[in-house]
Amino acid sequence: MDIQVLVACECLVSQEANAPFEELSRDTGFVRVCNDPSAAPALPGPFTMFLLLPFDSLVVNLLGISITVLFTLLLVFIIVPAIFGVSFGIRKVYMKTLLKIFQWATLRIERGAKEKNHPLYKPYVNGIIAKEPTSLEEEIKEIRRSGSGKALDTPEFELSDIFYFCRKGIETIMDDEVTKRFSAEELESWNLLSRTNYNFQYISLRLTVLWGLGVLIRYCFLLPLRIALAFTGISLLVTGTTVVGYLPNGRCKEFLSKHVHLMCYRICVRALTAIITYHDRENRPRNGGICVANHTSPIDVIILASDGYYAMVGQIHGGLMGVIQRAMVKACPHVWFERSEVKDRHLVARRLTEHVQDKSKLPILIFPEGTCINNTSVMMFKKGSFEIGATVYPVAIKYDPQFGDAFWNSSKYGMVTYLLRMMTSWAIVCSVWYLPPMTRQPEEDAVQFANRVKSAIARQGGLVDLLWDGGLKREKVKDTFKEEQQKLYSKMIVGNHEDRSRS
């Protein structure tokens, strides 16, 4: 019957108004010829024609209309505002709504736990052991004084000294301040993401329904939307930088390169529903300098590059990342190294020095920690970037884990899994502080300068300042660290013995 209807419609459309037309008989199914134009039925309208389509064609048309509407909304409300750096405030309203939902969910959990007499898990933000910053000599002196009443310099060695090392060892086992920086930070309240919470259990039907609704929103609405935005941003970045790369060097190429990078990074920021607050923008890095920041995630680059222009430094990769790197370097003088060159410290330092000496080139963006930390602390900065002698622009980045954990645990998740976790989170909320530029003092060496910059970043971002190397994430503790503690104790004993011999 569908074929007969289509045949009749085609006949009606193809015939002229005064010409004989063919009419489909409803009784017999045969086509009869009618010579009376006045008896011709009215042509069906567009909506009627749409309804006469077969079911599969109807689905295809509905899908096409949906995609067109979705792309139009993306273009009008997200992509175009991202290009011009304009925001309609939708993300902030979204964040405030989430906060109210989280508060309600937390109250429901606390009420349910109280009714069932179940203790709630509360993470220890500052650790389970209260530690005081005291030296080895001071603590051993206190142990000797409280144990035997003898002064520190009376014996060369006391058996009670071992209590100091035993206590330190047990404290490290119970509450290691280093290795816990390489795992996700636990939350004090539930954010309706079961991946970061120990309290996920049945409390009430309304809370369970709310959690299920959140799963549907994040995976069925936000995830496709974010994937479309990420694809758009990456495609424009590769295409735009490739086209700009063919232009002759000059102000026009530099201008287009900057704005192509900025536009694409802003679109990628929208793909993460990132809500970023920038502070002290007058201190943003300038040409010929080095921008150093604490490192939590690969998206740190996007967070900073969506508000400024930077030259990236890194190792050349393969696959999609390699395609992006090769396209980017055509339009902007990024500093990429081959795998064999990364371990050559002198070659890396020479390439960086040549870049910063040219004041027309963009500031270099470097993460001196060399690995991702869970945004609760700042670990040791590698001294290489501080030996160049250029002006350093410190930047502190602090994420709010309540909306989504930005930390990349590379030893547990691959890049694809990590990006999927990012795109199925509620949002990425963070604050960025641009600190005043810093230069190396005449009496400072590179290590001291790096520690001074690190302390400033930790203080501004509210992070713990640690002297440990972030490389401990994948490597064992070096023997030099163990020997250093042995030397401190030996120096205390031998030093006391030498002092008594001289007297």
CA contacts within 13 A on the Cβ side of 284? 12
At residue 501, the pLDDT reads 52
Give the model confidence (pLDDT) of 352-364 as tens digits.
888 888 888 899 9
Does position 126 have pLDDT exceeding 70, yes or no?
no
At residue 280, the pLDDT reads 93
Other CB atoms within a 10 A radius of the CB of residue 466 amount to 18
At residue 22, the pLDDT reads 46
Rounded average pLDDT over 455-463:
94
> Which residue, chain included where needed, has tokens 């404290």?
171
- For the chain, what percentages of helix, strand and coil (3-state, to nearest 5) are there? 55, 10, 35
Does position 89 have pLDDT exceeding 60, yes or no?
yes
Q: Provide the terminal-to-terminal Cα distance of the chain, rounded to the nearest Å.
A: 117
Q: Which of the two residues, 17 and 133, has the higher pLDDT score?
A: 133
Query: Percentage of the chain with pLDDT > 70?
Result: 74
397 backbone dihedrals φ, ψ, rounded to 5°: -120, 125
- Annotated domain spans of the chain: 2-84, 206-468
Does position 70 have pLDDT exceeding 70, yes or no?
yes
Q: Which of the two residues, 490 and 324, has the higher pLDDT score?
A: 324
Does position 131 have pLDDT exceeding 80, yes or no?
no
Six-digit token string for 340: 């064999």
pLDDT band per the 50, 70, 90 thresholds, residue 123: low
pLDDT band per the 50, 70, 90 thresholds, residue 471: confident
At residue 203, the pLDDT reads 67
Q: Please tell me which of 58-72, 183-197, 234-248 the model is most confident about, judged by mean pLDDT.
A: 234-248
At residue 367, the pLDDT reads 92
Please, is 343 exposed, middle or buried when counting C-beta atoms within 10 Å of its C-beta (0-12, 13-18, 19+)?
Answer: exposed
pLDDT band per the 50, 70, 90 thresholds, residue 83: confident
At residue 2, the pLDDT reads 46
Query: Which of these, 321, 271, 277, lies nearest to 425 by C-alpha position?
Result: 271
At residue 134, the pLDDT reads 65
85 Cβ contact list (under 8 Å, min separation 6) = 262, 266
At residue 25, the pLDDT reads 44
Q: Which long-range contacts (CB under 8 A, 24 or more apart) does 446-453 make?
A: 446/383, 446/384, 446/386, 446/387, 447/383, 447/386, 449/386, 449/392, 450/368, 450/381, 450/382, 450/383, 450/386, 451/381, 453/292, 453/381, 453/386, 453/392, 453/394
Enumerate the β-bridge partners of residue 392.
290, 438
Rounded average pLDDT over 431-450:
92
